[in-house]
Amino acid sequence: MEIAANNPSLKSWVEVPENSDFPIQNLPFGIFKTNQLTARVGSRIGDMVIDLKSLFVLGYFTNLPFEMKDFDSQTLNSLMKKGKKGTRDLRNRLSKLLEIGHTDLKINEHHVDQVFIPVDQVEMLLPVEIGDYTDFYSSREHATNVGTMFRDPNNALLPNWLWIPVGYHGRSSSVIVSGVDIHRPKGQIRPIATEDPILSASQRVDFELEMGFITYDGKPLGDSISTEESEDFIFGMCLFNDWSARDIQTWEYVPLGPFLAKNFASSMSPWIVTLDALEPFRIEGPKQEPEVLSYLKFEGKKSYDIQLEVALKPELVEETTICKSNFKYMYWNMSQQLAHHTINGCNIRCGDLMGSGTISGPTPDSYGSMLELSWKGEKPLTLKDGTERKFVKDNDTVIMRGHAEKDNVRVGFGEVRSKLLPAKN
């Protein structure tokens, strides 16, 4: 089905800078506040944040299934409760109001003044009250690299990997929005394999280049979501840095998997780009061999061509781009992840967050973590300021960016950034 707001020929009467991630074809959702305005739902076009609460109050969303509380909210959950049709109609309405030939809003100067706020005057907040956070491990290149380093290059993928979208349950309490800094975590590490472990600040703090998707309400406990239905349950996507402490991970992860190495922080970008807006950027995923079980089969293009990059910025000097990857490299797609997650009857809820797992591409400059980029620290990276990195240093800022581009339309995510501060005493 054609989505009106995706028409590549649409232009807006609102100025959009060249190469902006936020043309009229994007219209993501987020939560913002300003010195004057309480937290509320917003969208974005160019360098302007659009106050959707004000648009609602001013009567621009008549005949849509929304109430004041859906916009006058510190999270998007209430809005997402309206489901795919509701949010699609809302985005289409917004698109219409901003379209160049449409004057309802444009001619109302005092409405325009009230509704548009320059992006540098707002503070973006965590957009979703995340119920459960699940992290997958769906990049074949990443799983192969990690398996090669830690186990056996000849059997890098474990036997289940090509059959199951492997995942684990993460922790939602420590998911933070872009701009929130974190402290280097402490924990048990065992620097010398033949000696006892010690309590220490992690010496191997790493990022993981991931994307996340946010769900609508799912089905009741006991029911499953098929790959065919899956997209009706996905609201949108964000950039996601799943911070990791490799030395804590190495010691703790046997036999039940990651715990404190992963749950100290995960950073997400503030704008949720709807799955609708990403529709034009569908692409075929990697060929799956062996053939997957029937509940993981799917029709059509379920991968997305989203260019990703990671930059590292030491304190006071310019950033260096250290990785360029693409979401299309994911072996397991979101529909398969959701079908697998619910095949046992596990229910998902409005506001759940699903991480893709680290997105590594086929070449060494497309690896999505320092662990892989520096190959366990054996091949340090050299930054523009001449300093070397094996892992993330104190006061380094990690910045991830992503966008899709086709037919001269660029739909992007902006960025997720956060700085690693020294460990607390």
Min separation Cβ 275 and Ca ion, Å: 21
Min separation Cβ 79 and Ca ion, Å: 27
Residue with tokens 């192969």: 144
Min separation Cβ 38 and Ca ion, Å: 34
Q: Which stretch binds Ca ion (CB under 5 A): 23-31, 186-194, 200-208, 231-239?
A: 200-208
Q: How far apart are CA 263 and CA 270, in angstroms?
A: 20
**Which residues are CB-neighbours of 204 under 8 A, at least 6 positions away?**
245, 246, 247, 371, 377, 390, 391
Helices (H) and strands (E) in the chain, counts: 10, 26
Min separation Cβ 215 and Ca ion, Å: 18
Rank residues 21 and 352 by Cβ distance to Ca ion and give the closer one: 352
Rank residues 135 and 396 by Cβ distance to Ca ion and give the closer one: 135
Reading the block at residue 1, the tokens are 């089905």
Rank residues 52 and 166 by Cβ distance to Ca ion and give the closer one: 166
Q: Go through the chain and tell me how many residues it has.
A: 425
From the list 51, 89, 132, 135, which residue makes contact with Ca ion (rule: CB under 5 A)? 135
Please, are residues 41 and 55 in contact by the beta-carbon 8 Å criterion?
no
Rank residues 5 and 166 by Cβ distance to Ca ion and give the closer one: 166
**Is 362 exposed, middle or buried, given 0-12, 13-18 or 19+ CB atoms closer than 10 A?**
exposed
Rank residues 89 and 242 by Cβ distance to Ca ion and give the closer one: 242
Reading the block at residue 233, the tokens are 């349950």
Q: Which stretch binds Ca ion (CB under 5 A): 8-16, 30-38, 130-138, 217-225?
A: 130-138
Query: Can you spell out the DSSP letters for 161-190?
Result: TTTS--EEE--STTEEETT--EEPPEEEE-
**Which residues are CB-neighbours of 316 under 8 A, at least 6 positions away?**
none
Q: Which stretch binds Ca ion (CB under 5 A): 205-213, 331-339, 345-353, 359-367?
A: 205-213
Q: Which helix (H) or strand (E) holds 206?
A: strand 205-206
Q: Which stretch binds Ca ion (CB under 5 A): 194-202, 236-244, 307-315, 396-404?
A: 236-244
Min separation Cβ 258 and Ca ion, Å: 8
**By the rule CB under 5 A, 372 interacts with Ca ion:** no
Around Cβ 85, how many Cβ atoms within 10 Å?
10
- Which residue numbers are catalytic? 142
Q: How many residues bind Ca ion (CB under 5 A)?
A: 3
Reading the block at residue 223, the tokens are 């029911």
Min separation Cβ 170 and Ca ion, Å: 8
Report the amino acid identity of residue 407.
D
Q: Which stretch binds Ca ion (CB under 5 A): 204-212, 214-222, 249-257, 402-410?
A: 204-212
From the list 70, 132, 208, 276, which residue makes contact with Ca ion (rule: CB under 5 A)? 208
Rank residues 132 and 135 by Cβ distance to Ca ion and give the closer one: 135
Rank residues 50 and 209 by Cβ distance to Ca ion and give the closer one: 209
Residue with tokens 């957009």: 127
Q: How far apart are CA 91 and CA 26, in angstroms?
A: 9
From the list 21, 51, 242, 309, which residue makes contact with Ca ion (rule: CB under 5 A)? 242
Residue with tokens 């005057």: 121
Min separation Cβ 100 and Ca ion, Å: 42
Nearest Cα neighbor of 353 from 132, 178, 170, 77 is 132
Kindly list the residues in this chain that would bind Ca ion in the complex (CB under 5 A): 135, 208, 242
